[in-house]
Structure 1
Amino acid sequence: MANYAIMRCKKLTGMGSVASALQHCYRERETPNANAERTPENYCSVSKSTDQAMGRVRELLPEKRRKDAVLAVEYVMTASPEWWKEATPRQQAEFFARSEQWLEKKYGKDRVVAAVVHRDEATPHLSAFVVPLTQDGRLSAKEFIGGRSKMREDQSTYAESVKKLGLERGIEGSRATHQTVQHYYESINRGTRSQVSISPEALEPRVLRKGIFTKDVEDQAAIAKRLSHAVNDGFAGTIAMASQSAQNAKRARELQKTMDAQQKRLQSVTEPFKGLSREQMTEILMMAQRFKQQNQ
C-alpha cells in the first residue's frame, strides 16, 4: 500500500490570530485533541514559546502593511498513519528535518519563526509558522501560496523532498478537495459512523416563513437538499479518517455505497410530492395529521 506525504497550510491575519494559533501549538492553552501525558514528547527546533515566536514575528513584519495582510502562514506536515507505525526513529527524525528544510528553502531560514514536532496527537506531525516576507521586504502570502497552480507545485516539491523515505504525492488533479488545517482536524475528531439515522419527522416539510393566515413550507427539492446535507455532514468524520489511510480505501467505498443508498431512499420518499404545489403539500400533511390523531 502506498504511503503519502501530507501538507496543509492556513493563512493567519491579525496578531491575535497568530498568537492564538501559537499558544495551541506550544500547548499553552487547553488542547482537547492532545494527550497531556504525551505532551512532554513534543519538541521545538526554533522558538521555545509563544512569546519567543511572536517576538520573531514582530521583528520581521514591515511597519507599513495592509490592515488585512496575512502576517503568518501555519503549516501542518505529516504522512500516512501506516508509515509512522513502520518508520524507525531515525526515519521519523529525518522526515521532520526534511520538512523543515523544505520550508526554509521556500521562505528563507529566518522566516521560519516556529517549528514544533507534535507526538501527543493521533498522528505525529510538524506544526510550523512562517512569515511570508519576500526578499525585497514585502509581506505577500499571495506570492508564496497564491493560486491553485502554486499549491499544486508545493505539494509536488514537498513530496519529492521526502520521497527517499518511501512517501508519495497524492494523486494530482484528483477530485479530492483541499481542506484547511482547522476543518481537517474537526472532521477527524468527529469520529466514525457506520450509519446516519433519518427520523420520520425530518421527512416532513419545514415551515420557511409563517404569516398571520398563511405559511410557506419546503418543497420536495428543499427537503432533499436539507437531508442530503445532513447525511454528508454525518459521514464527514468517517470519510476524513478513511482518507488518511490507503488501507481504508475499501471502507471508504463501502461508506460511499451507504451514502448512495441513503440518497436513493430520500428520492423514493420525496418522489410522491413531485409536481404538487406547496398548498397541496400542506393539505396532504394536514390530512396525515388528522389520520394520526384518529389512530391515537
Structure 2
Amino acid sequence: MAYAIMRGEKRKTGDVRGITAHIARTQPTPNADVSQQHRNYAVVGPAWDDQKGINAAIEARTPKKYRKDAVRAIEYIVSASPEWFEENSDKQAALYFESAVDWFQDEFGADNVVSAVVHNDESSPHMHILVVPLDAETGRLNGKWFFGNKGVLQKRQSKFADHMAPFGVERGKADPQRTHTKVHEWRAGHARLDERDAALKAREFSTDLEKQQLVDREVLLDQREQALAAREQRLAALERELSVRGEKLAGGEKGLEQRQAEIDRAGAVLQQRLAAARAAQQQ
C-alpha cells in the first residue's frame, strides 16, 4: 500500500526567500523539467510562480514586531509514494492535495496557511505548504509550539495519514527510534532520485538509439543483399545471353568455313579445267 508523505521544517528570515525562490522556480532547479512547469499550480495563496506575492503573503500574516531569530514560516512538503501517482489520475492527485490543504487549515488555522503550491515538474508530484506560526491568542510568532517536539510530530503524522486514508494511503510504520526527516533532507533525497531517474532515462534513450541503429544496419544489409542478388540475376542472364550468342557465332563461323572450303574446291576444279583447256589449245 502507498504511504502518505508529510515533511516539515522551520524557516527563519534568512531561509524564507530561498524557499519561495525554489517554489516559484526563480532560481535554478536542476531536477525540474522546464517543459512541465505549466502543470504547476497554487491551491492556496498567490500564483505558484509569484515569488513576490508569496513573500508578501508571509509578511502580511507576520506581526510587525518579532525576534530576529523567530521562525517566520514552517515549510511542509506533502506527497505520496510514487506508485500512488502512477496508479491515479491527475484529477485524483489534485483532490489529494486539496484534501491535504483542508487538513493543514484545520490543524493550524486557515489564515496561517498562506501558500500551497503543487509541483508537477519533478519526477514525483508534491506540494509545498507555507504556514506562518502566528498564535492567535498572543498575536506573536510561535514556531516552537506550531512545529512541536518529536512526540507531537509523530502524532501529527498519524493524524495526517488518517485524514488522507480515503485516498488509499497509510502512515509509514511508526518507529520511536526514527528521527524526523527534514524538508531539505527529503528534497536532497528526492533530487538524487530525480538524477537517477534522469540517468536511467538517458541510458534507455541510448539503448533505444543503439537498437535503432542496429535495425537500420540490418535494413541496410538486407537492401545490399537484395541489390547483390539482383546483380547476380542480371549477370546470370547476361551469361546465358552471351552463351547463346557464342553458340550462334560458333555456328556461323562453322558455316563460313564450310563455304570457304567449297569455294576453295570450286577454285581448284576451275584451275584444273583452265589447265586442261590450255593444254588442248597447245596441241
**How has the CA–CA distance of structure 1 residues 190 and 90 changed in structure 2, closer, same or farther, with 3 Å as cutoff?**
closer
Structure 1 residue 174: Cα displacement: 5.4
Tell me the SS of whatever aligns to 1:63.
Answer: coil
* Residues 123 and 191 (structure 1), Cα distance of their counterparts in 2 relative to 1, 3 Å cut: closer
Alignment root-mean-square deviation, CA: 2.1
Unaligned runs of 5+ in 1: 193-236, 238-296
Pairwise CA distance, 1:18: 0.7
Structure 1 Cα separation of the partners of residues 109 and 142 of structure 2? 14
Say which SS state the counterpart of residue 59 (structure 1) adopts. Answer: helix
Q: What is the Cα deviation at residue 113 of structure 1?
A: 1.5
Residues 131-171 of structure 1: CA distance to partner in whole angstroms, max 9, x if unpaired?
Answer: 01111212111111221111011101111111001000111
Q: Is the 8 A contact 2:10 2:147 kept in 1?
A: no
The equivalent position to 1:43 in structure 2, one of 41, 60, 78, is 41
Q: Does 1:54 align with 2:52?
A: no
Matches within 5 A, 1:1-296: 2-14=1-13, 16-45=14-43, 46-48=45-47, 49-136=50-137, 137-173=139-175, 175-190=177-192
* Contact preservation (8 Å) 1:107, 1:133: no
Q: What corresponds to 2:211 in structure 1?
A: none
- Residue 188 of structure 1, CA deviation: 3.9
Matches of 2:193 and 2:105, distance apart in 1: 35
TM-score, normalised via structure 2 length: 0.64
Q: Is the 8 A contact 2:75 2:130 kept in 1?
A: yes
How far apart are residue 175 of structure 1 and its match? 4.3
Instruction: Provide the aligned length of Structure 1 versus Structure 2.
Output: 193
Work out the CA distance in 2 between the residues paired with 1:180 and 1:172.
Answer: 16
Q: Which has the higher helix share?
A: 2
Larger radius of gyration: 2
* Equivalent residue number for residue 265 of structure 1: none
| Amino acid across the alignment from 1:179 | T
CA distance in 2, matches of 1:64, 1:133: 12
Sequence identity (%): 36
TM-score (normalised: structure 1):
0.61
Spell out, residue by residue over 1:247-284, the C-alpha distance to the aligned partner (whole angstroms, 9 max, x if none): xxxxxxxxxxxxxxxxxxxxxxxxxxxxxxxxxxxxxx
User: Quick one: distance in 1 between partners of 2:52 and 2:192?
Assistant: 32
Deviations 1:7-56 (A, max 9, x none): 11111111x42111011101111111111111111011221211111112
3-state SS, counterpart of residue 171 of structure 1: coil
Instruction: Kindly indicate whether the alpha-carbon contact (under 8 Å) linking 1:144 and 1:150 is maintained by their aligned counterparts in 2.
Output: no
Higher-RCO chain (CA-CA 8 Å, sequence separation at least 6) = 2
List runs of 5+ in structure 2 lacking aligned partners.
197-283
> Which is worse superposed, 31-40 or 57-66?
57-66
Distance in 2 separating the partners of 1:153 and 1:104 = 17
